[in-house]
Amino acid sequence: MAREYPSAPILGVSAVVTAPASEPARACNLVLVRRGTQPLLGEWSLPGGAVELGETIEQAIVREVREETGLTVLPQKIVHVMDRMHRDAEGRVQYHYVLINFLCRVDSGTLCAGSDAAEVCWADSAGLEPYAIAPETLVVIRKAIASLNTEPHA
């Protein structure tokens, strides 16, 4: 199915990636990706992408994070499910994703920009203003960070 002007919504995944549990807390505590392709070309967001045929959502998030950031992650839990739609100047749906947003911890790897990323970085979840992150994505980040502070996880 075409990603641009699709005939139906596309299932996607994204990840709030935090440092390994073995590392002490750090000011820069989640991974951001500057998109290298549409949609959101040039914008800072969370790593993620479309689920491929025959792959589980957990396999998809591990693959997407590795492709975009060089990191291997362990999915912890689903923190939010949402629609992301982008309309063109004429109001037609140019992109429509149903995104399953995971909280993930780093298992291994070194942070580096991969296939769909122009740039990657560790960012402080309390200081995201310079990244101009979409309000919908900020909701996901806040939910994930709040769950770290209130719930035990693997």
Q: Which residues are catalytic?
A: 119
Task: Report how far residue 59's alpha carbon sits from residue 29's, in angstroms, rounded to the nearest whole number.
Answer: 23
Q: β-strands 93-109, 10-18: how paired?
A: parallel
SS (H, E, C) the chain: CCCCCCCCCEEEEEEEEECCCCCCCCCCCEEEEEECCCCCCCCEECCEEECCCCCCHHHHHHHHHHHHHCEEEEEEEEEEEEEEEEECCCCCEEEEEEEEEEEEEEEEECCCCCCCEEEEEEECCCCCHHHCCCHHHHHHHHHHHHHHHHCCCC
